Amino acid sequence: MPATTYAVSGMSCGHCKATLTKVIGELDGVSGVEVDLGSGHVTVTAAAGLDDGVIAEVVDEAGYELTGRV
């Protein structure tokens, strides 16, 4: 399955990691989410191509900012 890595700003703690793992993981087709607080990267594994707009929307609604693909 292809993985896409995004840069996300505003993450600083375990709660941030848990929140993003949950909200992104609930999207259709997503099979895995890895959050790296140190680098500010979120890697999303999905069966099909991801819609960056949908990912950005759920990240924004959670209180963070997707700044682009890595």
Average pLDDT over residues 35-54: 93
% helix, strand, coil for the chain, step of 5: 30, 35, 35
In which band, very low, low, confident or very high, does the pLDDT at 50 lie, cut at 50, 70 and 90? Answer: confident
pLDDT at 65 over 90: yes
pTM (2 d.p.) = 0.94
CA angle 63, 68, 70 (to 5 degrees): 120
pLDDT in tens, 6-44: 999 999 999 999 999 999 999 999 999 999 999 999 999
Strand 41-46 to 3-9 pairing: antiparallel
- CA-based torsion, 58, 69, 20, 47: positive or negative: positive
Tokens standing for residue 13? 């703690």
Integer Cα distance of 37 and 53 in angstroms: 22
